[in-house]
Amino acid sequence: MSAEARTAGVRIEYRDITKRFPPQQKDAEPVTAVSNVTLSIRDGEVVSLIGPSGCGKSTLLNMGSGLYLPTSGDVLVNGAKVTGPNRQVAFMLQKDLLLPWRTIRQNVEYGLEIRGVDSATRRAAALGLLDRCHLKGFENHYPHQLSGGMRQRAALARTLAVEPLVLLMDEPFSAVDAQTKMVLQQDLAQMLAETKKTALFITHDLIESIALSDRILVMSNRPGRIIDDIPVDLPDRDNPMVRRRHPRIGEFVARLMELLHVGDRVSATEI
In the predicted structure, residue 168 carries a pLDDT above the cut 70: yes
* 217-237 per-position pLDDT tens digit: 999 999 999 999 999 999 999
How high is the pLDDT of residue 271? 40
> What are the residue ranges spanned by the domains of the chain?
3-88+165-270, 98-163
How high is the pLDDT of residue 93? 83
How high is the pLDDT of residue 95? 82
For 107, residues 6+ apart whose C-beta sits below 8 A from its C-beta are 98, 99, 143, 154, 158
Residue among 271, 246, 247 nearest 258 (CA): 271
Report the chain's terminal Cα–Cα distance, integer Å.
39
How high is the pLDDT of residue 63? 95
How high is the pLDDT of residue 144? 94
Residue 196, Ramachandran bin (φ over 0: left; ψ between -120 and 50: alpha; else beta): left
**262: confidence class by pLDDT, cuts 50, 70, 90:** very low
pTM check: above 0.75: yes
How high is the pLDDT of residue 7? 57
If you average pLDDT over residues 98-115, what whole number do you get? 93
Number of H helices, E strands in the chain: 9, 10
CA 198, 203, 205: angle at the middle one, nearest 5?
A: 130
How high is the pLDDT of residue 8? 62
**198: confidence class by pLDDT, cuts 50, 70, 90:** very high
User: Could you say which of 3.30.565.10, 3.40.50.300, 3.10.20.740, 3.40.50.10490 is the CATH number of the domain covering 3-88+165-270?
Assistant: 3.40.50.300
Mean pLDDT of the residues in the chain? 88
